[in-house]
Structure 1
Amino acid sequence: MGLIHTVEPSDTDDVADASRDETLLLVTMVRLRQGPRGLQLDDQTCAGLARWAERFKGVVFCGLLMEGDAEDDTSVTWVDVDTLPDSNRLRFLALPFAYKVGAFSRAYRATRALLAEEVGKADRLCFTIGCIFGDWGAVGGLEAIRQGRKFAVWFDRVEYDVLRNTLHTMSFKRRFKERMTLPFMKIYHHYLVRRSSLGLFQGMDTFNAFAASSSNPACVYDVHTRREDFIAAADVMLKAAQVEAGVPLKITYVGRAAAMKGPEDWLRAIHDAVQAGVDLHATWLGDGPLLPQMRSMVDQLGLAGQVELVGYVGDRETVLDRLRQSHLFLFCHKTAESPRCLIEALVSGCPIVGYGAPYPQGLVEGEGGGAFSRMDDFDGLAALIVALDRDRKRLAGLVRDAAATGRKFDEATLYRKRAGLIAAHA
């Protein structure tokens, strides 16, 4: 399969050009905040909005306004929205942050009325959906159905699967609530998919979960890598030559230290590989709630000489440079999600090695660039690291394949295709 899977023709470039005379309404779950000079968004969302502004005459972006100075435990680079390219073609609406039942109920009528007005004015509609309470994208979908409008739904991941797999990490009160709402969430999400005219599903895990309910499903990738981010051909050759020369393995992961990322499995796999004689240095870039636990585990396993827990690194070029120098991107993702870090690794010529699932396997289908163990099998993952260390020609081939695969993930091209899909079907 290619990057786009849809029941309609995938050549949408002509339609995408026509979309430049239309307006697009995006209702998302992305957080906005009030900065010193006005509204702010995270840098990755801003990069995406700049691409949408290239394809549409006007874009209305609806996000969730964070209350006060409250932030989650993920570090974010905030950008003033009025500094964005083509900011005169962008309009921002801050919707209530209302994930609790009471807050959602109180905000529902006014917010639905606001969304009804915006749905009526926009030429094209796209709603990001992910939960129940506080999910204004889903409410926008309900309003589009009421008005008889076509609309696209966007799913980053299979939220009911993610919740089900992380229930054990929650407090008793929240676990009880989520258990009660999970069956309804699945019904609700599939209902909206069935009533939509276009389903945009990030990665094959999400595509496989929802495609049967969609009249027009597409597997897409939300990326922010550009052609200038691609590892140079000379650097690919140099890295492959170093691998074949038997240099110690450089292993990297980029992401939050959270249960769904499997940090404990990651450390156990590295420990077992070291015990089997692999000369390696492994780095985890990212913060998160389990970072202190990871530090303790590094000491307990005696990995202080092999593992470096860097914490949050905000400079994107620094992250990409680390990936370009790495020989393996080791991951232990435990849920049906579609993390961008795997794409950034491939763009950097760094093979993705981890738990097998439709998303990572779909990324490397065709050109290759990955190797996988069974889900939750950190022993098997350690054995895979050992096997690649001992078969350096195979690993060098994975480096070259990863770089070739990464060249498919060009932000401008993928946004143009997605704009074409929305212009044609939503």
Structure 2
Amino acid sequence: MKKQGILLVMPVPFRMVEGRLGFDDQTCEGLIRWAENFDHVVMACPVIPEQVFATSETSLTWQAIADLPCADKLELVPLPYAYKIPDFIKTYKATSQLLSEKIQKSQYLCFALSGVIGDWGAIACLEAIKLQRPYAVWADRVEYEVISRTLWKKESLKKAPLKRLIKDFLTLPLHKPYQRYLIRRSQLGLFQGQDCYSAYSPFCKNSHCVYDIHTKKSDQIDAASLDLKIKPLSNGEPLRICYVGRAAEMKGPLDWLRVVHLLCEAGVNLKATWLGDGPLLADMKSLVNELGITEKVHLAGFVSDRHQILTTMKSNHIFLFCHKTPESPRCLVESLVSGCPIIGYSSPYSEGLVSQFGGGAFVTLNNWQKLADLIIDINSDREKLSKLIFQAALSGQQFDEETVFQNRSDLIKQYLP
């Protein structure tokens, strides 16, 4: 039988770990899943320079890819980190030639779309078109909407470098037509969550709504733990609220705190926890002090332990989120897996996650006052809250990484000759 190999060109960066190429721990888990479904996996990604990583305001746990159990099935292709226009122009010719060579040697092709400048997945699409090779596209957020919704926000203007703002302003008009061009010529569209599927599926003849998650069946909350969380609610237990993610503009961390503040003003007995760091963490700490809710809010910062993150979700009653852009954050899936209802700003993605079994409640984007009213109502009806928790656990049973990666791999094998 002919060996089945796949070329993946992704924006997730390699980083040097003790002289060897490494990935963050979740990407490593995904690489293991790919290797379970293909005999040979070629992974082409940019290598993030250490000086860039040092100023990236993100915390991840990294490991050397050579230490993975599937290392013998992997081929790593380092690409330039070329998100500045001069770097992109300088490295374009050599990188496009390298991608063309890898395309010609690979049976299956899957490329992630992420932008314009420095997006080697898009360049791989252009090379595949030249070679008349069928390819799959992958997208996990609607990039042009993400940029347009955050570009001129006060927090973005205050934090982002001027060159970055100018680049985004100049390239934003190109995003939508460029991505649609590449999607129209693809053989298969793999779009994570309903937001991406709604935006991109009209332009691809074989479109599928898929998910990229890293929870296992063993991570799903068990019946005993679920019962232990629901039963005390009728005894007036304080409401526990959490969020896990970066303190960045697109996550709405300041809205999150305003919601918590309104709940406190309404007399809700609560404890709110935010796990994660990011560029707005200092602003969050200042706002906590300004609103006088220091005794109610715990800003834990970066937590690397996945078990601790899931344990936090499993012990909380509500996963409060204020996402402002059309993306497909895994934290909502992880929350459902943990039996923690997702309560926040409405989007096709969040609504799609709970469309079958429930476990979520939503208000319109940016309406944090109404979001507070919704939680006050839910908290006052503990039977309703208990039902939401049970429904969240049901919805969470749909998601485990082995199943979703196999589904995605099967689609690639089905649609790409």
TM-score w.r.t. the length of structure 1 is: 0.94
Q: 1:351 touches 1:399 (CA, 8 Å); kept in 2?
A: yes
Mapping 1:1-400, distance limit 5 Å = 21-71=3-53, 72-168=56-152, 169-170=156-157, 171-400=161-390
CA distance in 2, matches of 1:68, 1:314: 20
Matched with 1:12 is: none
- Superposed CA deviations along residues 89-111 of structure 1, whole A, max 9, x for unmatched, are 00101100001111011101110
* AA aligned opposite 2:312: R
- The whole-number CA distance in structure 1 between the counterparts of 2:273 and 2:165 is 33
Counterpart amino acid of residue 51 in structure 1: R
Cα distance in 2, alignment partners of residues 70 and 106 from structure 1: 19
CA distance in 2, matches of 1:69, 1:42: 17
Q: Aligned partners of 2:314 and 2:278: how far apart in 1?
A: 24
Please report how far the alpha carbon of residue 176 of structure 1 lies from its aligned counterpart in structure 2 after TM superposition: 3.3
1:29 is paired with a residue whose SS is: coil
Aligned partners of 1:197 and 1:256: how far apart in 2?
Answer: 34
Structure 1 letter corresponding to 2:86: G
Q: C-alpha offsets along residues 386-413 of structure 1, whole Å, 9 cap, x if unaligned?
A: 0011011010000000001101001111
Q: Which amino acid aligns with 1:25?
A: L
Q: Which amino acid aligns with 1:129?
A: L
Give how far 1:173 is off: 4.1
Q: Distance in 2 between matches of 1:174 and 1:36?
A: 30
**1:147-184 Cα shifts (integer Å, max 9, x gaps):** 11110000010000000011121455433332221121
Query: What secondary structure, in the 3-state scheme, does the structure 1 residue paired with 2:205 have?
Result: coil
Aligned-residue identity in percent? 48
- Contact 1:373–1:381 (CA under 8 A) maintained in structure 2: yes
SS at match of 1:334: coil
> Unpaired runs of 5+ in structure 2?
none
Structure 1: any 5+ residue segments left out of the alignment? Answer: 1-17
Give how far 1:244 is off.
2.7
SS at match of 2:262: helix
| TM-fit CA distance, 1:271 | 0.5
> 1:396-415, aligned counterparts within 5 Å?
396-415=386-405
Deviation at 1:193, TM superposition (A): 0.5
Report the residue type matching 2:209 in the other structure.
C
Query: What whole-Å deviation, never above 9, does each CA across 1:327-347 have from its counterpart, x for those lacking one?
Result: 000000000011000011000
SS in structure 2 opposite 1:21?
coil
Q: Distance in 2 between matches of 1:425 and 1:239?
A: 44
Local SS of the residue matching 1:157: coil
Cα separation, 2, equivalents of 1:364 and 1:392: 20
Query: Letter of the aligned partner of 1:366 in structure 2?
Result: Q
CA distance in 2, matches of 1:22, 1:56: 6
Distance 1:331 1:419 in 2: 31
Q: Which amino acid aligns with 1:356?
A: S
What is the alpha-carbon distance in structure 2 between the residues aligned to residue 372 and residue 103 of structure 1? 43
Deviations 1:342-361 (A, max 9, x none): 01100000000000111100
Q: Partners in 1 of 2:167 and 2:49 — Cα distance?
A: 23
239-248 vs 269-278, greater mean Cα deviation: 239-248
The 3-state SS of whatever aligns with 1:70 is helix
SS at the partner of 2:334? helix
CA distance in 1, matches of 2:303, 2:395: 25
Q: Is the Cα contact below 8 Å between 1:24 and 1:123 reproduced in 2? A: yes
Q: Which amino acid aligns with 2:73?
A: R
Output the CA distance in 2 between the equivalents of 1:347 and 1:44.
Answer: 16
State the Cα RMSD in Å: 1.1
CA distance in 1 between counterparts of 2:401 and 2:17 reads: 28
8 Å contact kept, 1:355–1:376: yes
1:3 maps to none
Q: Is the 8 A contact 1:27 1:128 kept in 2?
A: yes
State the AA in 2 paired with 1:145. Answer: I
Which moved further from structure 2: 234-243 or 83-92?
234-243
Q: Which protein has greater RCO, CA pairs closer than 8 Å, 6+ apart?
A: 1
Point out the more displaced range, 388-397 or 238-247: 238-247
Give 1:245 deviation, angstroms. Answer: 2.5
Q: Per the alignment, in what secondary structure is the counterpart of residue 251 of structure 1?
A: strand
Instruction: Report the AA paired with residue 323 of structure 2.
Output: H
Distance in 1, matches of 2:235 and 2:413, equals 51
Instruction: Tell me the amino acid that sits aligned with residue 346 of structure 1.
Output: L
Q: Distance in 2 between matches of 1:155 and 1:226?
A: 22
